[in-house]
Amino acid sequence: MSQPHVLIVEDEPAQREVLGYNLEAEGFRTTRAEDGEQGLIMVDEDAPDVIVLDWMLPNVSGIEVCRQLKMRNDTRSIPIIMLSARSEEVDKVRGLETGADDYVVKPYAVAELMARVRTQLRRVRPSTVGQILTFEDISLDSETHRVTRGGNELKLGPTEFRLLTTFMEKPGRVWSREQLLDRVWGRDIYVDTRTVDVHIGRLRKVLTQQGGADPVRTVRGAGYALG
């Protein structure tokens, strides 16, 4: 089975790199275009499973790229996740009228965008996306957001859910507070690194409320890991 392929069309090099890096770390193959014109050419050369498309692009705008792809029989079914710096509802509606399958407002948390990419992939290539993550007796369903430990359902807040998802995707990996901020909160949002500690504390409390051992490990001077 080939790796799922995500085309990133984003003119800001730093954003393109972060997105590409994170998608590849999760096992996706990525191709990357820096403007709309190049994006359209790359779709023809190597059709992706999902497209992450920035709204504001030089040459051909993201909206125009979306419109063109959704008009063509051979590309209509490729899911498009549109990125925009503007959050107004009117933009959202316009984005969806062009046929975009989903819409994410910048700045976004990488974990959130990864979840959206997986949701779209599940529609077009369900076999490539694992829906249930497990670690020891903990189970997390990324689609329904249901988390259980030893069969008992746990109630997590949205931030704790994203933290746990990040941990469960790579058990044993040590995450620095800065890396967790990038993935869980989004890199453009100013949040003190101590906020990470607060939410880790909340996550631990929920995970251990039934009496199980604390699975979150504090790595002195480095950060946190699951297991």
**Contact positions vs Ca ion (CB under 5 A):** 11, 54, 56
Nearest approach in angstroms of CB 54 to Ca ion is: 4
Report the amino acid identity of residue 155.
Answer: K
Nearer to Ca ion, 36 or 48 (CB): 36
Nearest approach in angstroms of CB 209 to Ca ion is: 44
Residue with CB nearest Ca ion?
56
8 A C-beta contact, residue 204 and residue 214:
yes
Nearer to Ca ion, 11 or 182 (CB): 11
Torsion angle of C-alpha atoms 117, 121, 123, 126, degrees rounded to 10: -140
Nearer to Ca ion, 49 or 54 (CB): 54
Q: At 54, is the secondary structure helix, strand, or coil?
A: strand
Nearer to Ca ion, 113 or 138 (CB): 113
Nearer to Ca ion, 13 or 158 (CB): 13
Nearest approach in angstroms of CB 62 to Ca ion is: 8
Q: Tokens in use for 67?
A: 């419109």
Nearer to Ca ion, 54 or 169 (CB): 54
Q: Tokens in use for 95?
A: 């984005």
Residues near 112 by beta carbon (within 8 Å), at least 6 away in sequence: 104, 162, 186
Residue 72 is classified by DSSP as S
Nearest approach in angstroms of CB 149 to Ca ion is: 42
Question: How far is the CA of 52 from the CAs of 10, 30, 142, in angstroms?
Answer: 8, 10, 20
8 A C-beta contact, residue 108 and residue 83:
yes
Q: How many helices (H) and strands (E) does the chain have?
A: 8, 11
